[in-house]
Structure 1
Amino acid sequence: MKKRPLILVTNDDGITAPGLRTLISIMKKIGDVVVVAPDKPQSAMGHAITVNSTLYCTPYKNGQEHDEYSCSGTPADCVKLAVREILPRVPDICVSGINHGSNSSINVIYSGTMSAAVEAGIEGIPAIGFSLCDYSWDANFEPIRNFVETITREALENGIPKGVVLNVNFPKLPENEIKGIKVCRQAKANWVEEFDKRTNPMGKDYYWLTGKFVNLDKGEDTDEWALEHGYVSVVPVQFDLTAHHSIQDLNTWNLND
């Protein structure tokens, strides 16, 4: 009998998030699940880790048959603790999400969801970050369940290239309106940000970050194009940030004279 895979499940919206609960229920169909997730929302934390304060990781009892732990740290902390202190062995895959909101294009840089997946990738563990383009806490995850299961099973069956994790985003659509899955590149897009400056009753200034998302990429092979046209986007993300194409140019500089 084939051994069931060990699956580490985490997220950045916190251990009570409906997206995480949905992901857990899908993964239990595929393998043995261990959950290590933040004890509170950690959205847009990027790859932050806890170095100047203590970390707590305690069993989370929710009437479930699998193991769950609530961690006081960041999504990346959750993966580190899971691998070093909690899991009985290296997991066969790590899945992060399902995030409440998009992590397409440049959002991957800021995403706690994807940073958890990247941390797993650094450890040599196949990893996927899942996100739904709906920021509501009451978002409907039912239309994407089959897609999440299919992508995870394919990743387990075929493997994910070394040094790569998958960034998967879903359009906010009924299941019968999702046209399929496209493997894409990350769109060239960014946030144009502003700060809403206000003054508190004590006369001290404070700021709210605001802004708008601008897609500068007209290509039809991007994650933004896929999502806008009703497809699930799958972007292979590498965590070697070396700009290899620039090395030759930089070697023409007079750096050692």
Structure 2
Amino acid sequence: MLKVAKHSLENKKLFCFNLSAPFLSQFNTKEVDEMISYSGIVFGNESEAEAYGEVHGLLDGTVHATARKFKLCYLVIFKGFVINTCYEGMLKVAKHSLENKKLFCFNLSAPFLSQFNTKEVDEMISYSGIVFGNESEAEAYGDVHGLLDGTVHATARYIADLPFADGEKRKRLVIITRGKNPLVYTDSFDSEIHQFMVEQFADDQIIDTNGAGDAFAAGFVADYIRGKPMVTSLHSAVRAATYIICRSGFSLGSRDSYLLKINK
């Protein structure tokens, strides 16, 4: 495990670590800290974070204090469905991200959210550095906000230009997918609306579209947060989504077959 961690750091690859269980921080403190020292992303649940904080003598033993210690949540991606289940928690993470200059991403997720949770969706966008959505979601958002130009291009421009919650001028990237048609993207510092061609394949190759949007977002941010060019990040996003569409459910085959598909 340590060899992989060192290799990742030496070759500028993203290494992720999961706290996994409270007892690991309690009885393998040195090893956990060493893994964290190589990690670009650290995952954990509440009990694991509290155990870590207690072992390290944090006076404020909250999850928030532990997250600040090793800067958890550099990147947070939320699907809009959380709005209906844990909105207050979602809002806390969004505010923490903005206050600590961390990247918060939001997915429009479904047309009905913009239609019936308009206020909450707009509030999430006000904290977001990246907003993802598909064509129907963008159209629903534009319709609810009374945009005279109902195209996805106009909606992407509108979302990109919305103010941040703290009133500061920041970059907000908006990416809208359109099925087999070129996706569109822009940001708050770019007056142009750009298009990016997506991979075309036969209808009989489509097995299951569930999870395609999640795969797209994950593929994009995996490259984007490492400073890869926009086109490279979009290419990875499309490849990841294409891979998932050609499988049943949100699943991966062997790692070799996945990497071959993504990197070809």
* Class of the TM-score when normalised by the shorter of the 2 chains: 0.3 to 0.5
Query: Bigger relative contact order, structure 1 or 2, given CA contacts below 8 A and separation 6+?
Result: 1
Q: Which has the higher strand share?
A: 1
Give the TM-score taking structure 2 as reference length.
0.32
Q: Which has the higher helix share?
A: 2
